[in-house]
Structure 1
């Protein structure tokens, strides 16, 4: 399984710039996209679950509150927390259940995160999505951030879709099939293209705020 890291990331960005002028314009206007990675840990998956269907700021606030309460999250610490303690950390009832389910799977040995490092992408997705509350988006973000797989294209991610529509001048009604076709030339480095599109989305949002 090919990975990206500090040693090859910039070269992969430049390779994509050479084959897609819209991606090249992102780098020309906003600079090199950050290398957004996370460690392959239970805590990373907890944060990713918190990020489901909420703003990154709201998710980070909940995660920060959790860390203040228990330190770095571990399965043992999560399973020892009461419902009330989870609520104090801004966890909804649903996300409490999802994180406890993940904690139980890892604590019992049903799931071993280090084993994912040598599994194909589809097998990792299959194992993760067997757990309640972990869907395709969460699995893709984990594959991209924690395992640093090179060809992940999470079309369930709103920021990615909005950025792709904008740089390609797409209508709001554009199908996922069309978006996948547009991303086909970026294989096998669609993860890096995703980073570039996130960089564009965040940079554009910052510039719009600055103009207000």
Structure 2
């Protein structure tokens, strides 16, 4: 349910805000907890507000503020240009997965081997990156790195070559990335190959060899096929793009170290699980493997 509550002109722009109610459970405090892992995210924990970059041809900062509860979630969405209001609302609904059937997903896992994790993290949604493109770049940077250093490296990259608008950062555009020299990324502590991979993605997009905007209309396997054909992009990176760039519901990155460690902990194993064991468990979690992945990650990130 959506209803407008205010619009006003500031400096020639008609700023607006709308109040949005969605079906619970939806734990925005859990959203904020996870977003705080990435130093690029602009979070106001006191106001329960997330500020985000939005680009529909012109750039602006938008914000989402929680004013409800987990079981009765309600938000105020704010933007800078009244004429972009519908686009912003559509983007926010997708970004925060406000239409995801979290209640049904919780029920699906209630009798599963992950029931304790889903009870602990009930109402935690999958939240997307700002775009499919930024998700791809971020996933390449994060490949084979621990989370702490990966976040630092991504922050250096975006703040060095991206654009800041008010409180939010926009990733450098493909043409900017394509124009970079390997040495510029090496100066930020990128490895030689990782620098080449990131620049290569920018070049492919600029040359028209990769169209990430088309991914929303493609099946998961076709997207993976296109992505893994790119130098430096393997299954793990492709699966992360499906998860956090597109919000696909049935993705399970079995090669992810965090997921392997979470399964080891959950099932009290003295070793990491084999791929065969993970495939067997995943049958029970289908068709919401993305939420199994997310909640397993959360169990490691929070220790619960």
Compute the displacement of 1:25 (Å): 1.2
Compute the displacement of 1:126 (Å): 0.5
How high is the TM-score relative to the length of structure 1?
0.87
Say if 1:36 and 1:195, in contact at 8 Å, map to a contact too.
no
Query: What is the aligned counterpart of 2:182 among 64, 75, 83?
Result: 83
Q: Distance in 2 between matches of 1:90 and 1:38?
A: 23
- In structure 2, the partner of 1:6 is 98
Structure 1 stretches lacking a partner, 5+ long: 208-212
Q: How does 1:1-212 map to 2 (within 5 A)?
A: 5-20=97-112, 22-71=113-162, 72-172=171-271, 174-204=273-303
Q: Distance in 2 between matches of 1:35 and 1:149?
A: 9
Compute the displacement of 1:55 (Å): 1.2
Q: Distance in 2 between matches of 1:79 and 1:199?
A: 35
Q: Secondary structure at the match of 2:114?
A: helix
Compute the displacement of 1:100 (Å): 1.5
Q: Distance in 1 between matches of 2:200 and 2:110?
A: 44
Say if 2:251 and 2:289, in contact at 8 Å, map to a contact too.
yes
Say if 1:30 and 1:203, in contact at 8 Å, map to a contact too.
no
TM-aligned CA distance change 1:161 to 1:173, over 3 Å: closer
The one of the two structures with greater contact order (alpha-carbon pairs below 8 A, sep at least 6) is 1
Compute the displacement of 1:34 (Å): 4.8
Structure 2 stretches lacking a partner, 5+ long: 1-93, 163-170
TM-aligned CA distance change 1:173 to 1:67, over 3 Å: closer
Q: Distance in 1 between matches of 2:185 and 2:153?
A: 10
The structure where helix makes up a greater share of residues is 1
Q: Secondary structure at the match of 1:143?
A: helix
Q: Distance in 2 between matches of 1:80 and 1:144?
A: 28
The structure where strand makes up a greater share of residues is 2
Compute the displacement of 1:28 (Å): 3.4
Compute the displacement of 1:185 (Å): 1.2
Task: From the CA coordinates, give the structure whose radius of gyration is larger.
Answer: 2
CA deviations 1:135-182 (Å, max 9, x no partner) are 000000110111111110100101111111221233426421121111
Q: Distance in 2 between matches of 1:34 and 1:148?
A: 10
- In structure 1, the partner of 2:68 is none
Count of aligned positions: 202
Say if 1:9 and 1:35, in contact at 8 Å, map to a contact too.
no
Say if 1:33 and 1:199, in contact at 8 Å, map to a contact too.
no
